[in-house]
Amino acid sequence: MSLRKRLYSRNFFVANLVILGIVVGFGLAFLFRAPPSGSSSLPVVKAETPSMVTNPDTEASIETAELVQNALHNIAKTVLPAVVELDVVEGGQQTQQQAPSFPFYFFFGPDSPFSDQFQPQEGLGSGVIVRRTGKTVYILTNHHVAGNAAKITVKLSDGREYEGKLVGSDERKDIALVKFETDDSDISIAKLGDSSKLQVGDLAIAVGSPFGYIASVTAGIISALGRTGGPDENINDFIQTDAAINKGNSGGALVNIKGEVIGINTWIASPSGGSVGLGFSIPINNVKDAIDDLITNGTVKYGWLGVSLSNISQDKASAKELGLEGKKGAFISHIFLNGPADKAGILPGDFITAVNGKAIQSTDELVRVVGDIKPGSTAKLEFIRSGVVMTASTKIELRDNAIASNNANIFPGVTVISLKSDSIDQKKIPSGVRGALVIDVLAKSPAASMGLQSGDIITKLNGKNIDNLRDFYELLAKESEKKLVFTVNRNGQTVETLAYVRK
């Protein structure tokens, strides 16, 4: 029989019906089988959002949340046009292979180590439009973003691009000013707020271009104020915020709930280089006057007191001997000969507690406060000397880096601490020896010329005994106009230094 005839035969058709019936029967039995003993069938329900149970309190909370949301909308609309992206090329600079060190990770530049050769380096950052004069628009950003730029491209949030030019920068405050020229009349200028009015817990919004994502907004709060210890000896007292800040945000704006710029985002503390809620911004009040200096001079002009400071008062034993336990201020360890402080009668060992009535909390704060005083102005200093509160007026001069970096002008040039300091191994102190321990001698300073060395224990000055730090600074003040000779204990031996006569 042919295959065609077999497929259409009666027997083949009946066999297929039987097989189909068996399959259908098994299927129905599976679908309608009884549940196992001891169990019950579960109802089938659809996943859907339940209706919100509303009441007056809930509705009031929603209305409050919407008000906050609308405020954020308004902030974004107001601030975004005034915050720009800066694409930067640093040309012809030789760079060394280096990896960033924890906890300071700047926000722009390649993640991989630079090769040791001359080549353009590309970077990314943000900036804030702070002023316009005619066709010239000025953008505030960080020194580490644009301070060494050979080429700058300014990108607005609406996509417009302009060729930027560096006006000037300042490494100590990590700020720079960039400008571009335009006939466009609709350039938005940011409104600068008052960072002195900030409180911990205030809402904070960060605006910038993290990782090149232009016009990004993140929100958080002010986590802390007055933070110090920024990278590269930055002298600012930073605003800490948990608003997300990442690479590319540097130079962008930190704004308050009113849309006012209260800070310039600068650095983050992170083990990975990404945001972990530890972002830091330069308070806008720290840089308002600097904007004028950069426009006028291309640099920031700092006031100079002519002193060198130390944190010796943070050492418990040293603070106790000096009578400074629990006191806030800045300790003067050296003065610059013929500098403003020297002319006003300020001496090594004086402890500055206030400037023009403003209380000084730390050495960093004294540097900032004096630096912001216009050169030529007179400042009233309040300080403690040998336990006595005193005042003096001094004329603040213009900081000259050539003078400030010349150790030959600094007196005495030796840093000492208490022999009872916790940082000292008491077993290494000769029995019965009293005095002050030398921990640092500045090269080319008077102390260096006399032959003082780190590790020396100063026991006498001009033959007069020194029992502790207070004796050291009191005798130094009395004898400073005379020929000075120190007697020291060096490796168990008594040694006299060379003589020094102040010129």
**pLDDT value, residue 470:** 94
Within the chain, which residues score under 70 in pLDDT? 1-54, 91-122
- The two structure tokens encoding residue 32: 């309608």
DSSP string, 190-210: PPB--GGG--TT-EEEEEE-G
Average per-residue pLDDT for the chain:
84
- The two structure tokens encoding residue 228: 């110090």
Please report, rounded to a whole number, the percentage of residues in the chain having pLDDT higher than 90: 60
Query: Can you tell me the distance from the alpha carbon of 184 to that of 118, in angstroms, rounded to the nearest whole number?
Result: 38
**pLDDT value, residue 2:** 47
If you count them, how many residues does the chain have?
503
**pLDDT value, residue 336:** 93
**pLDDT value, residue 36:** 52
CATH code: domain 64-110+117-299 is 2.40.10.120
Owner of token pair 């002195």: 196
Report the amino acid identity of residue 241: T
**pLDDT value, residue 27:** 53
**pLDDT value, residue 481:** 83
**pLDDT value, residue 90:** 84
Domain 303-408 architecture: Roll (2.30)
Residue 125 CA neighbour count, 13 Å, CB half: 35
- Same topology, domains 64-110+117-299 and 411-496? Answer is no
Query: What is the CATH class of 411-496?
Result: mainly beta
Q: How do residues 430-464 score in pLDDT, each as one tens digit?
A: 888 999 999 999 999 999 999 999 999 999 999 99
**pLDDT value, residue 404:** 76
Contact 414, 323 (CB under 8 A): no
Which residues, listed in sequence order, are joined to residue 254 by a DSSP beta bridge?
A: 206, 263
What is the residue extent of each domain of the chain?
A: 64-110+117-299, 303-408, 411-496
**pLDDT value, residue 438:** 95
Owner of token pair 């590269």: 232
Active site residues: 144, 174, 250
3-state class of 122 per DSSP? Answer: strand
Query: Can you tell me the distance from the alpha carbon of 375 to that of 364, in angstroms, rounded to the nearest whole number?
Result: 19
Which secondary structure element, helix H or strand E, spans residue 363, and what is its range?
A: helix 363-371
- The two structure tokens encoding residue 269: 């503390």
Instruction: Report the sign of the C-alpha dihedral through residues 467, 468, 470, 474, in that order.
Output: positive
**pLDDT value, residue 48:** 64
Query: Can you tell me the distance from the alpha carbon of 240 to that of 238, in angstroms, rounded to the nearest whole number?
Result: 6
Q: What single DSSP character describes residue 500?
A: B
